[in-house]
Structure 1
Amino acid sequence: MPELPEVETTRRGIAPHLLGHVIERVIVREPRLRWPVTAAFSDGLQGRVIERVERRGKYLLLSNAAGTALLHLGMSGSLRVLAADAPPGKHDHLDLVLDNERCLRLTDPRRFGAALWAGAQPLTHPLLAALGPEPLETDFTAKYLHARAAGRSTPIKPFLMDSHVVVGVGNIYASESLFMASIDPRRAAGRISLERCARLVSAIREVLLAAIEQGGTTLRDFVGSEGKPGYFRQRLQVYDCAGQPCPRCGTSVVQLRQAQRSTYFCPHCQR
């Protein structure tokens, strides 16, 4: 599933092609995505200038004078900027045709993505209203994380993956951040000290920024907005490295299941 770095990479890739341009047509080939693509989505975008291309968690926000559209890549979706007359493929469900003879195309083989109209107050939309802070913004601090974790017996890794706590720290980057901070992913969130929360916040930022710089992580189907894969996959320390030596101490990396997701960690380095 595309995570925050992949979505941010996509945002940076598409923004220069959209900003200041009019969406002349909205072509919906398949409206049956995770939620139906309604007429409100097309009506809100068609004939209007894109003024902002932003991200909130894993959602992309395209804003104009009338309001904001939300795009989500689901489990296997991608957005690319192509020539407006580029022939669509089997899984190319949506085109936003621009006034510069280009189009923004949503490709989604599994149809778990979304294209929704959020109106004039997008941050109050049910999908966005309850989201936690952005991990790269100043309100995501050690004090905040420590306070949210207080009294919680939930293991720290699934706790970090809760979008109500902090957005965008998905499975890959949670494993990598906990390794960098030397924290056992099984440890109860409420048993992590303020000092260790500070190390964890710093590690999350470092890991996410490195992934964004490298263009995201390619595991299966993610491609960037220009059709190029991300390369952070080559720099993963523990994720998907079960049985391989820990890059710090040489102990074999362990894999286990937490909240129905694979977790990877070093049982020697992470306490």
Structure 2
Amino acid sequence: MPELPEVEVSRMGIKPHATDQVVTKLEVRQPKLRWPVPDTLFDIEGQTIRAVKRRAKYLILETDIGYALVHLGMSGSLRVLSQATAPDKHDHVDLHLSNGKVIRYNDPRRFGAWLWQEKGGDHPALEKLGPEPLTDAFTGEYLFEKAQGKRTAIKQFIMDNAVVVGVGNIYANESLFTSRIHPKRPAGQLNLDEANTLVADIKDVLATAIKQGGTTLKDFTQADGKPGYFAQELLVYGRQGKPCPECDTELESVKIGQRNTVFCPECQK
């Protein structure tokens, strides 16, 4: 599943091609995605894309009358192509631009979404979201206060979008390892120093992933088709049974919130 770094890399990839371009045509070949593509999305035709933004794992294409909200789901990707490029089997949505380019949405599993929100309000999908992890609103003090009294495992807690957005499974594994915090520890047991360390590590892991172009997952490619490279530097995710990169203890795995979690039983307490 594309996580926040992959979505941010997609945003950076399409931004220079889409900003200040007029949407000349919206082409929907498969409207049955995670939610049906709404007819109101066609309001974007004739509009100029003023900005390409991101909120959590949603991409936002802003116009003067509203915005399109795009989610990549489990296997979705966006490509910037020539309009002459023929679509493939799982290319479900095309946004044709006045510069001759097309933003093409491919999604084999169809768990993604293309939605529309009129100007003057926030889409319900964006309500009740926590702060962005790479902003000043996400601090150790904030995390410490939110965690007070919580018995939820810390890994599940930091993956809750109501607490902080965009800390998916891969980066939760990595951040907890670098923080030396056991993923099953109740969130309420963290002290302030540990919360400060964890927040700093979350920011560092996500920023590094964005810088290096997103994780190379089998379903993800950047907007220009080039794969990411961060997977080469993953410390624990996907490495259960292998030696810990710090102490050589065998890495273990456990299910937390139905997600595979890899950790070092020696380093993480």
Tell me the residue number matched to 2:139: 141
Letter in 2 for 1:3: E
Inter-partner Cα distance in structure 2 for 1:216 and 1:121: 33
Which residue does the alignment assign to 2:69? 70
Gaps of 5+ in 2: none
Q: Provide the secondary structure at the position in 2 that maps to 1:133.
A: coil
Q: Which residue of 1 aligns with 2:50?
A: 51
1:185 deviates by 0.3
Q: Where in structure 1 are there 5+ consecutive unaligned residues? A: none
Amino acid at match of 2:218: R
Structure 1: which amino acid aligns with 2:79?
R
Distance 1:246 1:265 in 2: 8
Give the equivalent residue in structure 1 for 2:60: 61
CA distance in 1, matches of 2:120, 2:26: 22
Distance 1:121 1:169, change over 3 A: farther
Which residue of 1 is the match for residue 235 of structure 2?
Answer: 237
Structure 2 residue aligned with 1:113: 112
SS at match of 2:124: coil
Post-superposition CA distance 1:238-270 (Å, at most 9, x none):
000011111111111111111110000111111
Q: State the SS of the aligned residue for 1:137.
A: coil
Post-superposition Cα deviations, 1:18-51, rounded to whole Å, max 9, x if no partner, equal 00110100001010011111220111x1001110
Q: 1:199-235: CA deviations, max 9, x gaps?
A: 0000000000000011111222111111111110000
* Structure 1 equivalent of residue 124 of structure 2: 126
The number of residue pairs the alignment matches comes to 269
Aligned AA (1:30): Q
1:99 matched to which residue of 2? 98
2:29 aligns to what?
29
How far apart, in 2, do the equivalents of 1:154 and 1:224 lie? Answer: 34
SS at match of 1:227: coil
Q: 1:156 aligns with which of 154, 157, 160?
A: 154
Corresponding residue for 2:253? 255
Q: CA deviation at 1:118?
A: 1.5
Partner of 1:89: 88
For 1:129 and 1:137, locate their aligned partners in 2 and report how far apart those are by CA, in whole Å: 18
The residue aligned with 2:223 is: 225
C-alpha distance in 1 between matches for 2:78 and 2:245: 35
Distance 2:41 2:191 in 1: 46
1:215 alignment partner in structure 2: 213
1:195 equivalent in structure 2: 193
For 2:75, the aligned partner's letter is S
Q: One-letter code of the match for 2:63?
A: N
Q: TM-score, normalised by structure 1?
A: 0.98
Secondary structure in 2 matching 1:127: helix
Amino acid at match of 1:26: L
Moved over 2 A (4+): none
Note the alpha carbon deviations across 1:38-93, whole angstroms, 9 max, x for none. Answer: 220111x1001110100000000000100111000000000000001210111000
The Cα RMSD (Å) is 0.7
